[in-house]
Structure 1
Amino acid sequence: MTVHTKARHALIIEDEILIAFEVEALLAEQGFTSFDIADTPQDALALALAHRPDLITADYRIVGGTGVEAVEAIHEQLGEIPVVYVTGNSDLLLGRKPPVVGKPISALRLAEACARAFTR
């Protein structure tokens, strides 16, 4: 477990609430202290604009679009923010720069992917 002293905020883009809560719990173990959960690209952008995240996790398929669309809209408005894709559709993200964690989620793989996202 990595513990950080700085308060860190994560935006979780996921339309399955139980998975979103699982990601939240795993990120809390890594030292994240606050969270927003969005299930559409529009909600993700609005939440990011209201409280800039230090990290974004995004599923590929979400209500009304994709996590990729949400991340791109956020990056257009706020600039680069570290991203980890958490998805059961990892084959659709081949060739993307951000790390991808497959479902079911492994705490170790998520932690490793977050570390890679912050070193980019």
Structure 2
Amino acid sequence: MTITQVISPHLPYLRRFARALCGSQEAGDAYVVASLEALVQDQNLFRTDLQPRVALYHLFLAIWSKVPLNSMTTRPFEGIRALENLTPRSRQAFLLTAVESFSADDAARVMGVDRAEFDKLLNQANGEIAEQVATDVLIIEDEAIIALDLEALVESLGHRVVDVARTHKEAVEMARKHKPGLVLADIQLADGSSGLEAVNEILETFEVPVIFVTAYPERLLTGAKPEPAFLITKPFQSTTLKAVISQALFFDQKSRKAEAA
């Protein structure tokens, strides 16, 4: 199989990544073309010790990083506002995982760093995004200790917890009162009610990104509509939840910008 055949299925996704990284389709496509031209000149640039998609993105970032302007923190950017102030390396880490769905290990290989350095860059991105899209958060959780952990984690990212609901009724009432920008919800609540039903009722009133944090993910991943876009299984890792919060707010902002266009 030729290199062309190997990389062809991945090129549309590379163009998507390039556009998000560079801030415009024109700039992104230019770097994709430059990467392909470099590959034509020297096929040894394509690392055969990596999976093809990892190797292709690795090549792209090597070409992109050679331009001094791309290493600057402040640079022309026409893309999503939440990304424009991210430092270049943290932006790469976030996009590779949040948009391109690389595992952390593969994303580290793409960037040519070890896992510890990658985790540091991703945490930096989460913090930088939170500064750009800080919002009010409603927590729907009946276990007091978990609710306190969630509250501390959310506030460490710069967001504000407006309330903590323990039942379906409280959740709906608090959501209508505060109109939060993000909801973190369990699905089994103190009075035996359903957090999922509470969220569905909230969404009938206004749109808000929701992250389910539950010990019973199988109750949500049934194939029935709607399935949650963001789901964290208890017990959760704080780094994982921080990353998902950033993703949820990033994609919500991206969607709202597209609707306004």
The verdict on a shared fold, with TM-score over 0.5 as the criterion, is yes
Shift of 1:56: 0.2
| 1:1-37 deviation digits (Å, cap 9, x = unpaired) | 5141665211000000110010111111111123310
Of 178, 185, 200, which aligns to 1:72?
200
Match status 1:15 vs 2:142:
yes
Q: 1:90 to 1:6 in 2, by over 3 A?
A: closer
Of 32, 46, 52, which aligns to 2:173?
46
Q: Secondary structure at the match of 1:61?
A: coil
Structure 1: gaps (5+ residues): none
| Partner in structure 1 of residue 164 of structure 2 | 37
Q: Distance in 2 between matches of 1:8 and 1:115?
A: 11
8 Å CA contact retained: 1:5, 1:31:
no
| Partner in structure 1 of residue 37 of structure 2 | none
8 Å CA contact retained: 1:75, 1:81:
yes
State, as a whole percentage, how many aligned pairs show the same letter. Answer: 34
| 1:68-103 deviation digits (Å, cap 9, x = unpaired) | 1111111112x2101000011111111413211111
Q: Distance in 2 between matches of 1:4 and 1:48?
A: 23
Larger-gyration structure (1/2): 2
| Partner in structure 1 of residue 74 of structure 2 | none
Q: Secondary structure at the match of 1:62?
A: coil
Structure 2: gaps (5+ residues): 1-122, 253-261
Q: Distance in 2 between matches of 1:28 and 1:91?
A: 29
CA RMSD of superposed structures (Å): 1.6
What count of residue pairs does the alignment treat as equivalent?
Answer: 119
| Partner in structure 2 of residue 107 of structure 1 | 238
8 Å CA contact retained: 2:139, 2:161:
no
Q: Secondary structure at the match of 1:4?
A: helix
8 Å CA contact retained: 1:38, 1:44:
yes
Q: Distance in 1 between matches of 2:158 and 2:139?
A: 15
* Runs ≥4 residues deviating over 6 A: none
Q: Distance in 2 between matches of 1:87 and 1:20?
A: 12
| 1:52-79 deviation digits (Å, cap 9, x = unpaired) | 11110000111231111111111112x2
Query: Highest relative contact order (Cα 8 Å, sep 6+), 1 or 2?
Result: 1
Q: Secondary structure at the match of 2:151?
A: helix
The structure in which a higher percent of residues are helix is 2
Q: Distance in 2 between matches of 1:61 and 1:34?
A: 20
TM-score, scaled to structure 1: 0.89
TM-score, scaled to structure 2: 0.43
